[in-house]
Amino acid sequence: MRLSRYFLPILRETPKEAEIASHRLMLRAGLLRQQAAGIYSWLPLGLRVLNKITTIVREEQNRSGAVELLMPTIQSAELWRESGRYDAYGKEMLRIRDRHDREMLYGPTNEEMITDIFRAYVRSYKDLPLNLYHLQWKFRDEIRPRFGTMRSREFLMKDAYSFDLDQEGARHSYNKMFVAYLRTFARLGLKSIPMRADTGPIGGDLSHEFIILAATGESEVFCHRDVLDTPIPPADTDFDDVAHLQSIVDKWTSVYAATSEMHDEAAFAAIPDDKKVSARGIEVGHIFYFGTKYSEPMKATVTGPDGHERPVHMGSYGIGPSRLVAAIIEASHDEAGIVWPDPVAPFDVALLNLKPGDSATDDACGHLYRALGLRGRDVLYDDRDERPGAKFATADLIGVPWQILVGPRSLSEGKVEVKRRATGERELLSIEDAVVRVAG
């Protein structure tokens, strides 16, 4: 992509409404535009990051055996009356009426609807276990949205729902998501910590929040330092191996880690002082087992091996990709701007032509642009008629992991400069070596 033909409205000054780093940088780097309180447009660069994240989320959901579908944003109130949540949910739910005066709502979550889909088709225990998920925009009319997409009213959520014959099966489904989440966040370049969590109004008795540590996090969290070094399950983990998955979850949950709501002072006090971590965290995922809370009132039943019908045991599992964009920035930025982890970066390489119009730099950039493109790299080519300083500032701000600086100075020796955004390390390389360095 040539920057001169792209749509990247970067801001030199910080809009006054932005308090925290991620919000400030998302506005400055042209990722986001606010349209109303807690409601945002995703500009091209922001959308690229969001898509990178959802791709990884999907890959790990699919790997664990979950199956993707897509449910609508608008739901009918009728369904929510069946579960009893239409009245219970309160003002957070955006209620609307259609032209026939039918009561509708903009979905804040999809337990009812997925249960309706399940009960319409599934009759036998032989079709279990089943885990269905989708990625869809949600709306929760928060009292006070803030911090950009960290807490917005409209947000993208990956929500998965598991169905099992009994609690034992549901436990395994829960463990699958537990492992999938560990892998997902690790692949996004984040160190996530599963923490015992309150189940809240959603019900049930088994729940973990996945927290990443960041100074601007909204929750206060406590954990044993060792949890930060627990190994992430590998890609070839067998998700059908019940005992193995349980052992992974046991290893992670045997180390103390809890949010302030679930904090146990005595247990924390027993940890050696040098292993105590008391910090702030951002919740990026939340998993629940809630048994038959919805299947019972909504009559989602299957016939078991004994010929008896019984309500299925369910769990739900949420990740907020739109929040993750902000969370990743909170965890990875510096004075100059965003520092994207490679897997989620909007582009792989920023190619800076420091003297556009000069035939030597133009030719070298053209060559690099094509060579990297052929190797499958997304390159943002800064071909604007700007001074070098402005290009450096832009490249640093938008945080693309690799920068290739092409100017007359190094080019006179037949070299270009390859800079790593995260560390600031620079190498003078020939054009061919630069391609290999960046594209592997």
**Rounded-to-integer distance, Cα 172 and Cα 178, Å:** 10
Q: How far apart are CA 187 and CA 321, in angstroms?
A: 13
| Residue of the chain from 85, 119, 140, 333 that contacts RNA (CB under 7 A) | 140
The stretch among 45-53, 58-66, 291-299, 386-394 that binds RNA (CB under 7 A) is 386-394
Range in contact with RNA (rule: CB under 7 A) among 68-76, 110-118, 138-146, 266-274: 138-146
- Min separation Cβ 307 and RNA, Å: 38
244: amino acid identity, one letter: H
* Interaction of residue 111 with RNA, rule CB under 7 A: no
Among 1, 25, 38, 371, binds RNA (CB under 7 A): 38
**DSSP letters of 265-276?**
HHHHHTS-GGGE
Q: How far is the CB of 24 from RNA (least distance, A)?
A: 10
Q: Which stretch binds RNA (CB under 7 A): 29-37, 51-59, 67-75, 221-229?
A: 29-37
Nearest to RNA of 179, 287 (CB atom): 287
| Region 296-325 residues binding RNA, contact defined as CB under 7 A | 318-320, 322-323
Can the peptide bond before residue 201 be classed as cis, meaning omega within 30 degrees of 0?
Answer: no
Q: Which residue has the tokens 């009132």?
A: 297
Nearer CB in complex with RNA: 227/354: 354
Size of the site for RNA (CB under 7 A): 65
Choose among 352, 377, 375, 374: nearest CA to 365: 352
The region of 36-44, 163-171, 242-250, 343-351 touching RNA under the rule CB under 7 A is 36-44
For residue 7, the tally of other CB atoms under 10 A from its CB is: 10
Q: Which two tokens stand for residue 416?
A: 């270009």
- Residue 345's nearest CA partner among 8, 45, 49, 57 is 49
Nearer to RNA, 128 or 398 (CB): 398
Q: Does 107 bind RNA (CB under 7 A)?
A: no
Distance (Å, rounded) from C-alpha 204 to C-alpha 187? 29
Gyration radius of the chain over CA positions? 24
Kindly tell me which residue out of 228, 410, 420, 437 binds RNA, with binding defined by CB under 7 A: 410
Instruction: Report the phi/psi class of residue 186: left, alpha or beta, with left for phi > 0 and alpha for psi in -120 to 50.
Output: alpha
Question: At 64, phi and psi to the nearest 5?
Answer: -80, -5
Piece in contact with RNA (CB under 7 A), picked from 160-168, 199-207, 291-299, 365-373: 199-207
Amino acid at 193: I
Site string for RNA, 169-198 (x = CB under 7 A): -----------------------------x
Which of 302, 397 has the CB closer to RNA? 397
Query: Which residue has tokens 């490679």?
Result: 342
Q: Which region among 44-52, 99-107, 148-156, 167-175 touches RNA (by CB under 7 A)?
A: 148-156
The reply to whether 388 sits near RNA by the rule CB under 7 A is yes
Interface with RNA, residue 5, by CB under 7 A: no
Give the strand pairing for 333-334 and 313-319. Answer: unpaired
Closer of 176 and 323 to RNA (Cβ): 323
Rounded Cα–Cα distance for residues 203 and 161 (Å): 14
- The residues near 136 (Cβ < 8 Å, ≥ 6 apart) are 70, 71, 72, 73, 107, 110, 156, 157, 159
Binding site for RNA (CB under 7 A): 10-17, 19, 28, 34, 36-38, 140, 142-147, 149, 151-153, 155, 157, 198, 200-202, 209, 218, 283-286, 318-320, 322-323, 336, 354-355, 357, 387-390, 392-394, 396-397, 405-411, 417, 419, 426
